[in-house]
Every structure is written in structure tokens, then in C-alpha cells.
Amino acid sequence: MTWSFFATFPDTPTMPDTDDRYWLERAIELSRSCPPSATAFSVGAIIVGDGEILATGYSRETDPHDHAEEVALAKLPPRDPRLRNAVIYTSLEPCSKRASRPRTCTERILAAGIPRVVLAWREPSIFVDCEGAELLGAAGVEVVEMPSLAEQVKDINAHLLTDRTD
């Protein structure tokens, strides 16, 4: 039997997996490395397996069109068996629509077989209407949102949020 659910947890010391906050804060910090862009969010992603970092990535790390999850996944061999028990921590919800590449980050996560995604902030509809969390959850991936860390992600992306609501 496969269990899947979409959960929003308050970030409290009694949270079941205290490592989630630690790793997600590292992903948020990584997003500060992104070259600035007026047309894309600054996002950081860390893939963790068995308590160790398997790969990291941030938006525009190697190409102006790179997404953080895409970069991190590209650093690992396809079908890496460690991904079956891994978690991807991403500062922003994985994309579900994309103009610059044929595959979305949501599709890449599903193809990699990563069973758990932890994110800080749902992507606002500035560029696209994102449904990454819903699509991942519907496919059986456990999705955990930590909204108390969203303000940090919003601050990093403040240049995109001026005069906009989310």
C-alpha cells in the first residue's frame, strides 16, 4: 500500500521531522546564489538521502533558463537508486508549466522517483498558474509545505513582487 498526502505543518519544535526545517533553510540560503532576473524566481533546491546531500542546485546556476530542481537532478545519474528514498527540499513549489524547456520540474521529480517534496512557498501566479504540489500529491508523492519559511523566500524574490499580490 502506498500512502500519499498533502500536508501543511506548522513549524514547531514538535514537528515530526525536525530535519525538514534545517534542510529547507539550507535550500532557501542557496537561492541567494541565483543571478538576478526580472522574469524568473530565485530558487534553491537540495536533494537529501539518508541524511546526506546528494545534489544541490539553484536557478540559473549553469544556464539562464535553469530551474533549481532541474539543476540538482541533472547532477545525479538517471535512475539513481538513492532517489527512491530521497527528499527534495525546494524554496519554491516545483513548476508545472514551462515555456523555456520541454519538461517541468514536477515531471522531472516524478520521473526520478523521489517520494517526498518539502517546500516553503507556493508559486504565486505572476508568470504561470502553478499546480506542482497538486500534481505531485496526486501522483503519490508526499508534499509538505512549511509556510512559516515563506517570508524568507518572498524577501529574496521581492523584486518580482513589487505592486503585486500573491
User: Which active-site residues does the annotation give?
Assistant: 69
- Cα(139)–Cα(104) distance, rounded to whole angstroms? 15
| Per-position b or e across 147-166, b if 16+ CB within 10 A of its CB | eebbebbbebbeebeeeeee
- Cα(30)–Cα(136) distance, rounded to whole angstroms? 23
Query: What's the grid cell of residue 35?
Result: 543571478
Cα dihedral 125, 127, 134, 53, rounded to 10, equals -120
